[in-house]
Structure 1
Amino acid sequence: MIDAVVFDIGNVLIEWQPERHFDRHYGEDRRRDLFGSVDLHAMNDRVDGGENFHAVLKDTEAQYPEFAVEIRDWHDNWIQLASPVIPHSVHLLRALRRKGVPVFSLTNFGIETFDYALTFYSFLSEFDRDYVSGRMGVIKPAPRIYEMLEQDCGVAPERLLFTDDRADNIQAASARGWQTHQFEGPQGWAERLIAEGLLTPQEATP
């Protein structure tokens, strides 16, 4: 039996493909140079871990002045990196809430960037509980972040159903006894929710 459903956000509800933005605006060659020289994903992990978004980007820009324009773009046009929405996933979130199923977020997201995303994506305010790594000071797949969610919500691990696009995050949740679904697209996630008896086929269809 499932008592609560837990959604990751990036690549589940909102696409997160920064490389695509830089390919489009700077070309593949420049993007390869940028990502090969600057560990932008590690930079983003610092933000997701609770460091100030603006300070981290400024620090990175100072370390790599040859990529200052692109790093500034990551800061100034961040919302373009976190887009577009995955509409079917948002439908599933709302369908679960209409059925009275508690729905939580568990996301690697910075404090400032999450607050900023809220101004664009109203559905991010619709969770029953938010577990945002920047606020918690720990990122997935560290076991502590899953433990913190369990302690706060009071739901037994085996009664949580969690979806995330990353295998390492799914494995960490499974290790704690959570039920899991690795997200590869909204249709597969819809089918899992139907199989668990949480939604009917009609309810899961946009």
Structure 2
Amino acid sequence: MTPRAVVFDIGNVLIEWQPERYFDRVSGPERRCAMFEEIDIHAMMTRIDRGAHFGEEAARMAAAHPDFAAELLQFRDRWCDIAQPAIPHSVRLLQALRARGVPVFALSNFGAENFPLSAAQFPFLQGFDRAYISGRMRMAKPDPAIYAAVEDDCGLPPEALLFTDDRAENIAAAAARGWQVHLFEHPEGLARALVALGLLDEDEAL
């Protein structure tokens, strides 16, 4: 069936999330490698995504790892320099769907306090018909409960939702509930999927 709403992940779908690249630039590859070897940065972000307070978690980690305190505090103090830039073609697809009147939702593992920072930086993140932000919900993908919460809130059956995400485990969890899915690898692939499903025509998907 033609989907009745499109559900977007945000990180690495609409905006880039490559903290390693940021720290390579500001601290140098050697120090960045040492920090990421000593500290599980992605576990820290997962705690934030599941509801830990963004600034407090960064400060806690800085206190626990004083050799890298300056870098860890940059997650709090320079978030908008780390979680960027936008992915232009993906943003155009989002806007084309909205112009067509197709409901667009966000379903993103994102902290409750840092999501507003990114939404202020990238106004297109304020345009979703519904935004399901894991830190606010205090649950995160790929937990089946977060997909069930989306279904309950939006009132659409699973098969009416098309979900795109860059992580295979998140896609698999949605597919297990009956959602239509697209594993995001690049915007061109998503554009082709949207055209194939009849949600956009080829000109709109450029």
Output the TM-score relative to the length of structure 1.
0.98
Q: Once the 2 structures are TM-superposed, how far is the Cα of residue 22 of structure 1 from its aligned partner?
A: 0.6
Secondary structure class of the residue paired with 1:106: strand
Q: Which whole-Å CA distance do the structure 1 matches of 2:127 and 2:199 have between them?
A: 18
Q: Once the 2 structures are TM-superposed, how far is the Cα of residue 125 of structure 1 from its aligned partner?
A: 0.7
Matched, 1:12 2:13: yes
Q: Once the 2 structures are TM-superposed, how far is the Cα of residue 89 of structure 1 from its aligned partner?
A: 0.6
Residue ranges of structure 2 left out of the alignment (5+ in a row): none
Match of residue 77 from structure 2:
76
Matched, 1:156 2:157: yes
Match of residue 173 from structure 1:
174
Alignment coverage as a number of residue pairs? 205
Q: Which whole-Å CA distance do the structure 2 matches of 1:93 and 1:54 have between them?
A: 30
Residue ranges of structure 1 left out of the alignment (5+ in a row): none
Q: Once the 2 structures are TM-superposed, how far is the Cα of residue 72 of structure 1 from its aligned partner?
A: 1.4
Q: Which whole-Å CA distance do the structure 2 matches of 1:11 and 1:174 have between them?
A: 20
Q: Once the 2 structures are TM-superposed, how far is the Cα of residue 46 of structure 1 from its aligned partner?
A: 1.1
Q: Which whole-Å CA distance do the structure 1 matches of 2:125 and 2:8 have between them?
A: 11
Let me know the Cα RMSD of the aligned residues: 0.7
Secondary structure class of the residue paired with 1:119: helix
Match of residue 36 from structure 2:
35
| Residue identity (%) | 55
Amino acid at match of 1:154: G
Matched, 1:65 2:66: yes
Amino acid at match of 1:73: Q
Q: Once the 2 structures are TM-superposed, how far is the Cα of residue 159 of structure 1 from its aligned partner?
A: 1.1
| 4+ residue runs over 4 A deviation | none
Secondary structure class of the residue paired with 1:92: helix
Secondary structure class of the residue paired with 1:57: helix
